[in-house]
Chain A
Amino acid sequence: GAGVSQTPSNKVTEKGKYVELRCDPISGHTALYWYRQSLGQGPEFLIYFQGTGAADDSGLPNDRFFAVRPEGSVSTLKIQRTERGDSAVYLCASSLGLVVNEQFFGPGTRLTVL
């Protein structure tokens, strides 16, 4: 079956602009996660959805970051007033949820803020 997909694969924007990053999880996976990976670092947790609700958003760095999953499937990560420090690869993962299962990752969106 299809894996986790993310669009766009690359996004270049200017400082101060608004961006949206999209994630399509594996069909049937109720849990969806967003991570951010800077160069040479491990992924850092941002937010976790179980179904439509954000079960844990403690990793969001500030209120410029927001994510939604309105129908319990596709999720969008939204970043307002982008800053150069937001440049990173944004990874999405999904899992069967309910218990701590393995998470399957998408290819990521490389965000560059000029």
Chain B
Amino acid sequence: AQKVTQAQTEISVVEKEDVTLDCVYETRDTTYYLFWYKQPPSGELVFLIRRNSFDEQNEISGRYSWNFQKSTSSFNFTITASQVVDSAVYFCALAQETSGSRLTFGEGTQLTVNP
């Protein structure tokens, strides 16, 4: 069985604050893949990042960074110096090698960045 938990339902910050979105996953596979997607108010899911279970290096892309820790089964997402345009629902997702390519999504975190 696979499961993704995003415990934070809603987060509200003021522009320029840093914010971390938590993601905890469960899987019995040793090979799996983790994803983050952004869903702005327009509704279309936008791919942000994909990591496989053998690559624990943290990644930075502009104001975005991801912290993957297998020891705690977590794949957290940090936005530095948040902007109003970052307001969206963010989803963490998991794909197990034994389950093919199907994605299991968390419930999502609604991020609101206020000016």
Contact = CB atoms under 8 A, between A and B. Distances in A.
B64 interface: no
Interface residues of B, number: 26
Contacts of B52: 100
A6 B4 CA distance: 27
A79 interface: no
A25 interface: no
B44 A55 contact: no
Given A42-B91, A42-B108, A103 B44 contact: no
Most buried by B among A35, A55, A89, A103: A103
Interface string A25-61: 0000001010100001111110010000001100100
Contacts of B33: 100
Interface in B74-107: 91, 93, 95, 97, 99-107
Most buried by A among B43, B45, B100: B45
B42 to A, nearest CB: 8
Contacts of A106: 44
Interface of B: 4, 33, 35, 37, 42-47, 50, 52, 91, 93, 95, 97, 99-108
